[in-house]
């Protein structure tokens, strides 16, 4: 098991993840629901990143057009 310095960013991340996983397990949530929730969160994050990428890409395109 990984050891992180107490109160470091890594330590906090692991603590938050542990608490979330324990909450699912303590609530007796089915494994399929846990997996679906994880996939849903990843999908939301991916969609957000994709929209941000498109916005930056469009801005770069407009800036390059203005320079010409």
Distance in angstroms (rounded) separating the CA atoms of residues 49 and 67: 27
3-state SS assignment for residue 6: coil
Q: Is the dihedral of CA 61, 63, 65, 68 positive or negative?
A: negative
Confidence (pLDDT) at 1: 59
This prediction has a pTM of 0.77
The angle formed by the CA atoms of residues 29, 9 and 34, to the nearest 5 degrees, is: 15
User: How far is Cα 13 from Cα 30, in angstroms, rounded to an integer?
Assistant: 24
Query: From first to last of its 68 residues, what are the pLDDT tens digits of the chain?
Result: 578 999 999 999 999 999 999 999 999 999 999 999 999 999 999 999 999 999 999 999 999 999 98
* Neighbour tally for 20: CB within 10 Å: 13
């Amino acid at each position: 098991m990984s050891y992180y310095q107490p109160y470091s960013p890594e330590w906090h991340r692991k603590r938050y993840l542990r608490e979330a996983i324990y909450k699912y397990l303590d609530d007796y949530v089915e494994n399929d629901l846990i997996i679906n929730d994880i996939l849903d969160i990843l999908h939301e994050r991916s969609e957000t990143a994709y929209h941000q990428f498109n916005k930056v890409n469009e801005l770069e395109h407009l800036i390059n057009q203005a320079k010409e």
